[in-house]
Amino acid sequence: MIRHHLKAFFPHQTTHRLTLTALEDVTLNTAHTIWKECAAGLTTFIMMAYALIVNPLILAHAGLPLHTVFLATCITSAIACLLMGLWVRLPIMIAPSMAINSYFVAHLVPFYQGQWRQALTAVMLSGFILMLIAYLKWPRHIIKALPESLMLGTMSGIGLFMMWVALDASGIGYPWHHWPVNPQAIFNFSLTCLLIQLGQHYRIPGHFLISLVLVTLAANLGFKTHVPSSVVDLTQVTTTLNQIDFRWGFRTLVHALVLAGLIVFDSTSTLHTLTENTPLKTTSAFAQQQRLTLMTTGFTTLLGAHLGTSNMGIYFESASGISAGGRTGWSALLVGACFLASLLLGPYLSYIPNSVPTAALFMIAFSIAKRGVKLKNMPFCQAAPACLVLISIPAFHAIADGLGLGVLTYLALNAKKTAMNTWILGAVFVIYFLVRLIYLGG
């Protein structure tokens, strides 16, 4: 019976030889594999646990209840990782996307005049669209439509946009906007960034989480703290449960299509990077696993919208678990269990200053933005449209607008050597801009 269940997670032989990038060739038996998978899962959770702190505090700036978003983050992340373990059987972790929650706060909610319910409706629809795209096997065609230079420009532009959101939400103040400067917030923000940078330099596992905890403890020194009487109250999630509002109709559908497109590009490129030069990509089942991963992302996005959080996405921190030996769904199962256990930490969120998690978001954004350095080695006809995207996204606070301008500029400069998929994408953006002009008010 035990052997039968083990084969469900290890569909190939229980003893086989794998060639690991940057590691020695090792022979894995069942017991050793389970041990390594557990270690990989714990490593991954420590690396991505900052999402439990950052996501609720960022979305709280859009008016969503802090503790409710925390519960939604824990539940949806746990379900996503459990599905990745039981259904997809890959050591890839899914949780609320740091790029999309920034877009949600800075663009979607303000567009709906501060009504986060309409923004969650767009998120819910995008989850359904993602599932449909995965079912129809469209992701590979969508990815081929976007040239590499525009992909780099888009990611760098999103990084710059996230940096602006992080600074705006940190509470450090802007004297030129007549907002008083907060020295304590500046100190917390700077110290968190410094500790994260040191952790990255010395390759300390879980340096994001460690930095958040250390600065939070330092910020609360000398203050009398109250220990919460209740550990977790799951009834709080009813505040945002099923708060879906379709009153904006077609406009909401347009935003849902934009969100779905962003997640397709981000998830597919991240999954490609994570599995490149690893045994995961050489298995015959990988194409099916890739499709199921996107379907899982769509399903948990739909679920998360009903619970009260923004779009889900694949976490690049999964690379730490893969490097630690994660090759199957066991590590994802452990991460899912850790997310469920994290429900116990909800009442302590109020002790974390805004400037601490926003500093972590700023550092994540910086790591995304610096990908644009590769553009300097590209020809002008490819780099110029990408730079336009890079500048337009933070300037307009709209990812789709910046990407659309870049695609149309790319077609104008590279008309003779552009694939048909890119022309189709250009036509889609022409329709998008016309719809935006007519229905969305410019």
What is the percent of the chain where pLDDT is above 70?
83
Q: Which of 209, 202, 81, 151 is nearest to 368 (CA)?
A: 151
Q: What is the mean pLDDT of residues 92-113?
A: 90
Q: Does the pLDDT at position 250 exceed 60?
A: yes
Tell me the residue type at 116.
W
Pair 347, 134: CB distance under 8 Å: no
Q: What is the mean pLDDT of residues 338-353?
A: 84
Tell me the residue type at 292.
L
Structure confidence at residue 22 (pLDDT) = 30
Half-sphere exposure (Cβ direction) of 359: Cα atoms closer than 13 Å: 26
Q: What is the mean pLDDT of residues 373-384?
A: 92
Q: Does the pLDDT at position 323 exceed 60?
A: yes
pLDDT category, 241, cuts 50, 70, 90?
low
- Looking at the DSSP bridge assignments, the partners of residue 28 are 16
Structure confidence at residue 261 (pLDDT) = 87
Structure confidence at residue 207 (pLDDT) = 87
| Candidate from 132-146, 233-247, 305-319 with smallest mean pLDDT | 233-247
What is the percent of the chain where pLDDT is above 90?
36
| 269 token code pair | 């490129």
Cα–Cα dist 201/194, whole Å: 11
Task: Please state the pTM of the whole predicted model.
Answer: 0.81
Q: What is the mean pLDDT of residues 414-432?
A: 90
Cα–Cα dist 188/180, whole Å: 16
pLDDT per position as a tens digit, 5-60: 444 444 444 333 333 333 333 334 455 478 888 888 998 998 898 999 899 989 99
For CA atoms 322, 140, 249, 423, the dihedral sign is positive
Q: Residues 6 or more apart from 322 whose CB is under 8 A from it?
A: 40, 91, 274, 275, 278, 280
Give the per-residue SS3 of the chain: CHHHHHHHHCCCCCCEEECCCCCCCEEECHHHHHHHHHHHHHHHHHHHCCHHHHHHHHHHHHCCCHHHHHHHHHHHHHHHHHHHHHHHCCCCCEEECHHHHHHHHHHHHHHCCCCHHHHHHHHHHHHHHHHHHHHCCCHHHHHHHCCHHHHHHHHHHHHHHHHHHHHHHHCCCCHHHCCCCCHHHHHHHHHHHHHHHHHHHCCCCCHHHHHHHHHHHHHCCCCCCCCCCCCCCHHHHHHCCCCCCCCCCHHHHHHHHHHHHHHHHHHHHHHHHHHCCCHHHHCCCHHHHHHHHHHHHHHHHHHHHHHCCCCEEECCCHHHHHHCCCCCCHHHHHHHHHHHHHHHHHHHHHHCCCHHHHHHHHHHHHHHHHHHHHHHHCCHHHHHHHHHHHHHHHHHCCHHHHHHHHHHHHHHHCHHHCCHHHHHHHHHHHHHHHHHHHHCCC
Q: Which of 211, 191, 254, 311 is nearest to 440 (CA)?
A: 254
Please state, as a whole number, how many other Cβ atoms lie within 10 Å of the Cβ of residue 322: 23
Structure confidence at residue 368 (pLDDT) = 87
pLDDT per position as a tens digit, 176-234: 555 667 888 899 999 999 999 999 899 888 888 899 989 999 988 855 455 555 555 55
Pick the more confident residue, 162 or 273.
162
Q: Does the pLDDT at position 267 exceed 50?
A: yes
Structure confidence at residue 83 (pLDDT) = 96
Structure confidence at residue 165 (pLDDT) = 86
